[in-house]
Amino acid sequence: MREDLVEKNERSANVERLTHLIDHLKEQEKSYMKFLQKILARENEEEDVRTVDSAVGSGSVAESTSLNIDVQSEASDTTARDPEQEPMEEIENLKKQHDLLKRMLQQQEQLRALQGRQAALLALQHKAEQAIAVMDDSEKVAGTTPGHHTVRCRQTARSPFHQRVPLR
């Protein structure tokens, strides 16, 4: 009979511990879900900002920023969390987020620099195409064939005619 009482007490203690553990895990799950929702909300805000930036920007190159986020899951032990641990985790998460935002800003600056370079290269290409078109037009007017340019030279005072000398 005594063994039955001891066994009953152990069972009720185990049930109580398990109930406590289940409650703790539910709290952790809620906390984790809130954290994920905050991250998603911030990503959506950043995406909205990028959309506005791209609409305001040149519009020729879509802004895209790739971010690699590693989410680490923590294994929970059966004991309750230390009350000082949560603020420390939050501080650590904020530091990670700060670093991530810094990297994003650097990538956006690099993207803008690349867009500037691209615009300069496109302008150079346009100028070169115009110069080629002008050269082609002048060849047509002069009656020369492409690749064989001629230069008019003066002859001595005896002849009023000009002579064409091919350039190579």
Domain ranges of the chain: 1-46, 90-138
Instruction: Name the more confident of 2 and 120.
Output: 120
pLDDT of 58 > 90? The answer is no
Instruction: Name the more confident of 108 and 162.
Output: 108
Model's pTM, two decimal places?
Answer: 0.34
pLDDT digits (tens, 9 = 90+) for 83-137: 678 888 999 999 999 999 999 999 999 999 999 999 999 999 999 999 999 998 8
Per-residue tokens: 4? 């039955």
Residue with tokens 């020369």: 144
Round the CA-based radius of gyration of the chain to a whole number and report it.
38
